[in-house]
Structure 1
C-alpha cells in the first residue's frame, strides 16, 4: 500500500520554547482541531497525548521530545514537542535536526525568557524556518506589545507581526490577521472562529501592519518588489509564496497569536503551516559529510537518519528517524554507514505520543520509527546497498554537571553498568566515565533535573537503587623550587642481592628554560604527559657511575611516582629531572633496584622542592535577567570565583567568572533557586592554578589520614 501523503504534503514542525510557555497544550489543540482526538487533555490533569511518560505526569512538565502527527486539509503535519528546560537540550537538538519549521512559543506574561534565547542559538545554527506564536494572551498579566518588542530586540527586525489580539486578558477572544486582513472571533470554548471584517477603529493599525508585512515579503524577492511597486499591493497567493521563500532564507519570522489553553488560534496556525511552511523537498537538500547533496525525492535511493532512541520495556529499542531520500518499506534491508552492518526494517510506525500505528512505507521527508535495529544508534545513517551516504551528526553540547555514582546494594555494580549503558544509548548528552584517575564512575550531564531523570530511569526501569555523590577533584601536583636527593636501595637475601644508588636534581619545568647549570648533559628526553604538562628527563651521568642501561629503570620509577604524587595522590606535572650521579654493583645491580632508587629519590626531592597542589579552574558563563546579576555574582564569589566581567547579551546579562571546580558542586540547583529557573550556565576547563596554602594543607592532611586508614 502506497503512503497516504506524498513528500510535498508532509510538514515537519518542532514546538520550541521556555518551560511553561504552553507547547504541549498547543500540540493537544492541533490534534483536537484535526479530529485526531475528541477531547483535549491537559498537562495539569496528566491526560495530554504528549506528556504520556509517568515521570512527566508526576512532574507536570515535558522531559522528552515527542513525535505526534495529524492530518489537516490534505496535509500531514508531524509535530515534535520538546521540553523547555535547558537540562534537556539534547531532546531539542535531535528534534530540530529533523524538523523543517520551528514554532517558537512565547509566554505573553513573561516575554522572551532565557530558555527561548538558548534555543534560538540552535535554530540559527540549523537555519530552521521559524514562526513565533505568542501564547497565553488570555492571562490577565499578558502583554502582547512588550513580548513582540522583546522578540524584535532579541531576534531582530525579521520578526514580523501577522496577527495581533484585539483584547488581552480574560476577555481575549478576537485576533486580527493582517495577512488575510480578517478578524477571527472565537466563542468562549474556542475552536472554529467566525471570520469578520476588521472593525473601523482597528483598520488604521491593521493596515499599517499589513503594509509592514507586505514590504518585508517584497524586500526579499525582486519579482515581488516590482509587482509591489507597480500595484502598491500583493495578492494573497503572492504573499504566501514570498513568505515561504523568505522563511527558508531565514529573512522573515512571522508572528501569530494564541490561547492554547482555550483553543483559540491553533487552527489558523495549522492552516499557515499547510499553506506556507516548507515541506522537506522545498528546503535546501541535505548534504553528506563529504558535501554531496541528497535530494529529498521519494523516487531516490532510500536514506534515513536516526535522531533518537528510546528503550521500551518488554519490546526493545525504538529508533526514531527521518527519511531524507527514497521510500523506506517494511522488509527492506539497509546498510549502516557507520559500521557496515545490514539492518532489516521489520516494522514501520507512525507515532501518536505513546501509540504506535503500523504502516508499510514512509516517503522522503516523513518521520517515523522502527523497532530492534541491533547495531544502529543515534546519529547513524542507513542507506540502500551500494550507496555511500553519511549525513552529518547532531553535535550535542558538553556537560555542565558531574557527579559520581554507585549502586546502593553491593554486588549490583554490573547491573548498574548495564543500566548506564542503556541510558547513554537513549541520551547522548549523558556521558558515563570510568575514571581511572579518581577511581570513581562519573556521570556528566546538563543539570540537576537531567540527573534526577537519569536516577528515575535506572531505579524504575532497571530496578537498581543508586546514589549520587560529590566527585573527587582531579588535582595536579608540581614543585616551586629546585631540590636534590639521593637514595641507596640495598637488599641482601639468600641468593643475588639488590643494589642501586641514584643522585637526582629536580626543578620546576617551564617552556624554553636553559639546560641545567653545573651538570654535563649526556642526553635529554621530553614527555607530554597524558594528564597534561610535561616531564623532561636528563642523563647527566659522568664517568660511567651508572650504566646507561639502568636509566630507563630510573625513568620508570620516576614516572610511577608521578602517577601518585606525595601530597594528595594526584598526578604530577611540569617537572625536570636530572640524574647526575650514583653507584652500582657488578653483581647485585639490576633494573628493579634502580627503579626503586628512582622512586625514592624522586619522592624525597619532591618533598624538599616546595611542592604545590594545582586545582582545575573553570571558565563559567551565566546568562540571567539583569535584575538577578547581583545575586548570581554573590553566589559565584562565595565559591572562590573571580568575576571577570558582565556583558549584555540581548535582553540578558552574561556574567563571566573563573571558578575552582571543587566549588562548582551544587551550583546548578543553587542557580535555579536564586533565579527561579530563569538563568542558565555553561562551563569549560580553563587551566590549573596553584591552590592557597590553608586549603592545600587541609587537602594534604585529609589524604594522609585516608592513606593511614587504608593501611590500618
Structure 2
C-alpha cells in the first residue's frame, strides 16, 4: 500500500473529515493513476488498470482483522464495482465467494453500504483469504503484483503450556499466517515441536505475546535459532555405485556427474540438469535421482542446515535390467551427494541484516563501536538535526538483545529498524565454532 493510500485510509478511518477533504483536493483521481495487474492467462503479461467502474472488478486484500463477526477483510478496489451479494473469485486460491456484507470503516464504527467503486477502500465479512490475495468478478484472471516475501531468518520453538489450549493455539497460528506472509509455521520432524519463523527477534516476540493476549494461551518458548544455510564454493565430481544384494530383488544404481556453485545473483537456489546422451540410465529413473539430490541438500554435513545455490549435473550412470529401481537411484543420488560434498569446499551462510539506527550525536561513537564489536560493517552515517543516522550491515546472530543494549547505551533515546538483506559466508573462526557446536550437540544426543 502506497504512503498516500495509507494516509488516506488513516484519515478516513479516524473520521478526520475536514483534513480529509483538504487532502482529497490534492490527491489524484483513481482514473488518473496507472496501476498494473498481471494477466495469469498470458504468462503474467502486464495489464494497465484504468481505475474506472466500467471495467472488470479487480480488488486487493491488503489487511485482515479478527472482528466480532469473524474475519474482516480490507479491500482496495483498483477497477470495477463490488456489490453486496455479488459472487467474487479469489484468483490466488480459485475459490468462488459470495459477499454477504460490505462496509465502510469510520474509526471503530462500520457503515453498511450496497456497493463500492474503483479507488475506494472497503471491508467485507465472511471472506476466507490471505493478505495479498486478488479478487475479480470472474471475467478476468488478473493478480496484482505480489510482494517480495523474503525467506524467514529466525525461528523459535513454541508450544502451549496446557494441552487443553491446543485448539486456540492452532487457531492463532493459522490466523497469523494469513495476516503476515513473512510469518511461517512448521513442525520439527525430529523433536515434534512447533516452529515459528519470521524476520527477527522482535517480530516473533510480538506474535508470542499476541497468542497470550488475544487467545489467552500461555506458551513456552525455546531458544531463538538463526536460519543458517550452507553452500559449495567449487566444483566437485561424483561417481557412486549403489549396489545391494539381498535374498530377493537387489538394488543397483550408478550416478556420475558433478556439483558446482550457481553464479552470483542466480534466481534459483537449486538446479538439476541431465546431460546423459543415450540410455545409460532409463529416463523413468531421472526424476528419482533429482529427488534424491534435493533430499540430500535439505541437510548439509557442516551444521545440518539446507544447502542452497548449487547446481547438480548428471553426466553418466549405469543401470541393471532387474535390480535397478527408483529407490536404488534415489539412494545412489543421496550417497553421491554426501560423498562429494566435502570436496566441494562447503561454507556456512548466515543472514545479514540491514540495520538503520537513529541516535543522539553524543552517543554516536559508543553505538558505532558496539556495531563493530558485533562484526557489523557501517555503510552510511548521516546527520539529521541533532541525531546521527547510522546504516550498517550486521550478522543476525550478533543482534540478539540489541534493543536492550541500545537503550542502555543511549539513555533510552536511540531507536533502530532492521530488515533482511542477504545470506553471506561466515568467517573461518565462526564456521569452526558452529561446526564444533553441531558435532558436540550430536555427540550428546
Q: Specify the TM-score bucket, using the shorter chain as the normaliser.
A: 0.5 to 0.7
Measured at CA, do residues 536 and 614 of structure 1 come closer, stay the same or move farther in structure 2, by a change above 3 Å?
farther
Residue 496 of structure 1 deviates from its aligned partner by 2.7
**Counterpart residue number, 1:286:** 30
Cα deviations across residues 394-438 of structure 1 (Å, max 9, x unaligned)? 98998998442512337555532321233455x55x732135899
The answer to whether the Cα contact below 8 Å between 1:499 and 1:584 also exists between their aligned partners in 2 is yes
3-state DSSP of counterpart to 1:457 = helix
Distance 2:171 2:248 in 1: 51
Partner of 2:195: 441
State the Cα distance separating 1:557 from its structure 2 match: 3.7
Under a length normalisation based on structure 2, what TM-score does the superposition of the two structures give?
0.67
Q: After TM superposition, give the deviation of residue 369 of structure 1 in Å.
A: 8.0
Distance 1:286-1:305 versus aligned 2 partners, 3 A rule: farther
Cα offset for 1:321? Answer: 7.6
Mapped to 1, the partners of 2:61 and 2:101 lie a distance apart of 13
> What residue is the counterpart of 1:478 in the other structure?
232
Unaligned runs of 5+ in 2: 37-47
- Contact in 2 for aligned 1:309/1:317 (Cα 8 Å): yes
Classify 1:277/1:566 alpha carbon distance in 2 versus 1 (closer, same or farther; 3 Å).
same
What residue is the counterpart of 2:45 in the other structure? none
In the alignment, is the contact (CA less than 8 A) between 1:529 and 1:573 conserved in 2? no
Give the whole-Å Cα distance in 2 for the aligned partners of 1:610 and 1:533. 17
- Are 1:342 and 2:98 an aligned pair? yes
**Closer/same/farther in 2, CA of residues 422 and 489 from structure 1, 3 Å limit:** closer
Q: Which residue of 1 aligns with 2:159?
A: 407
- The number of residue pairs the alignment matches comes to 414
Q: Partner residue of 2:42? A: none
1:457 aligned to which of 180, 189, 210: 210
- Residue 599 (structure 1) aligned with residue 334 (structure 2): yes
Residue among 658, 670, 676 paired with 2:393:
658
Mapping for residues 362-373 of structure 1, pairs under 5 Å:
372-373=125-126
Distance 1:285 1:392, change over 3 A: farther
**Structure 1: segments with no counterpart, 5+ residues:** 1-89, 104-269, 296-300, 513-527
**Alpha-carbon distance between aligned partners in 2 of 1:348 and 1:371, rounded to the nearest angstrom:** 9
1:470 offset after TM fit, Å?
0.8
The 1:362–1:672 alpha-carbon spacing in structure 2 relative to 1, beyond 3 Å, is farther
1:418 to 1:672, Cα distance in 2 relative to 1, 3 A: farther
TM-score of the superposed pair, with normalisation by structure 1: 0.46
Call closer, same or farther: CA 1:695–1:326 in 2, change over 3 Å: closer
| RMSD between superposed Cα atoms in Å | 5.4
Candidates 70, 77, 82, aligned match of 1:316: 70
Contact preservation (8 Å) 1:100, 1:283: no
1:181-330 map, 5 Å:
274=18, 278=22, 280=24, 283-287=27-31, 289=36, 290-293=48-51, 309-312=64-67, 315-318=69-72
Q: Which of residues 642, 646, 654 in structure 1 aligns to 2:381? A: 646
Q: Take 2:261 and 2:81, find their aligned partners in 1: how far apart are those partners?
A: 62
C-alpha spacing 1:399/1:277, structure 2 compared with 1 (3 Å): farther
More strand by share: 2
Give the aligned partner of residue 39 of structure 2: none
* 1:374-399 Cα shifts (integer Å, max 9, x gaps): 3477678999x8999x9989989989
Query: If you compute each CA radius of gyration, which structure gives the higher value, 1 or 2?
Result: 1
Equivalent of 1:421 in 150, 154, 174: 174
Q: Is the 8 A contact 1:505 1:605 kept in 2?
A: no
Report if aligned partners of 2:292, 2:334 keep a CA contact under 8 Å in 1.
Answer: yes
Q: Matched residue of 2:183: which SS?
A: strand
Distance 1:343 1:529 in 2: 39
The whole-number CA distance in structure 2 between the counterparts of 1:323 and 1:555 is: 44
CA distance in 1, matches of 2:146, 2:323: 61
* Residue 280 of structure 2, aligned match among 547, 550, 566: 547
The question of whether the paired residues in 2 share the 8 Å contact of 1:381 and 1:391 is answered with yes
**Aligned in 2, Cα 1:324/1:666: closer, same or farther, shift over 3 Å?**
same
> Residues 103-114 of structure 1: matches in 2 within 5 Å?
none
